[in-house]
Amino acid sequence: MGEKSCVMDIVPTASIAERIHGDDRYETAAVVAWEIAPAETPLVYVASGENYPDALSATAIAAQHNARSSCRCRDRA
C-alpha cells in the first residue's frame, strides 16, 4: 500500500477518452484510421480484414510511417 500505482500517476494527466466505433470491424478500422492520422497523410496501407496477422503487421508499419492503415473485405473496397 505504500507504493504508488502506475494508473494513479497517469489518470490525473490523461485526456478525456472518446469511444469510437463503426457498424462492423471494417467501418471501425476506418474510423480509427481517420482519428489517428492527419487528414493530409499521403500514404495508406491496406490489408485484408479477414486475415488478422496481415492487418496487424500493416498497422504496425503504417504507424511507423505516420500513415493510415485500412482493413478491407473482399467484396468491399
The per-residue pLDDT string of the chain (77 residues; one tens digit each, 9 = 90 and over) reads 455 555 556 556 656 777 888 898 778 877 877 777 667 778 888 877 777 787 778 878 888 888 877 777 666 55
pLDDT, residue 59, reads 79
Cα–Cα distance measured from residue 28 to residue 33, given in angstroms and rounded to the nearest whole number: 9
**Is 33 within 8 Å of 70 (Cβ atoms)?**
yes
pLDDT, residue 60, reads 84
Output phi, psi for 13, to 5 deg.
-100, -5
In a domain? residue 77:
yes
Structural domains counted in the chain: 1
Output phi, psi for 69, to 5 deg.
-125, 150
- What is each CA distance from 9 to 4, 13, 17, 23, 48, in whole angstroms? 7, 8, 17, 35, 38
pLDDT, residue 7, reads 57
In a domain? residue 14:
no
Residue 76 belongs to domain spanning: 26-77
**Is 37 within 8 Å of 68 (Cβ atoms)?**
yes
pLDDT, residue 18, reads 78
In a domain? residue 75:
yes
